[in-house]
Amino acid sequence: MTIKRSLPLDRANSFCETYGLKVPILVAPMAGASPASLSIAVANTGGMGATGALLTPPAGIRS
């Protein structure tokens, strides 16, 4: 069995291309530690924003 190895930059470029990102930054969606404002800021600058919604009521998630 042959394991294909890739360089970190190649993986980062592939990640960006796959998800249409400008920069290889992903916000970890941790409830209580990654507010929506952080996720929005990252997404607006070309990264992938995600927010932890475990502690947020449904109305708060929709807004």
C-alpha span between 38 and 26 (Å, rounded)? 11
Please give the C-alpha separations between residue 47 and each of 5, 10, 30, 55, 57, in angstroms, as whole numbers.
Answer: 25, 17, 16, 24, 26
Q: In a 10 Å sphere around its CB, with 0-12 CB exposed, 13-18 middle and 19+ buried, how is residue 12 labelled?
A: middle
Mean pLDDT by 10 residues, the chain (63 residues): 79 94 92 84 94 83 73
Q: What is the pTM of this model?
A: 0.71
> Which residues is 26 bridged to in the sheet?
48
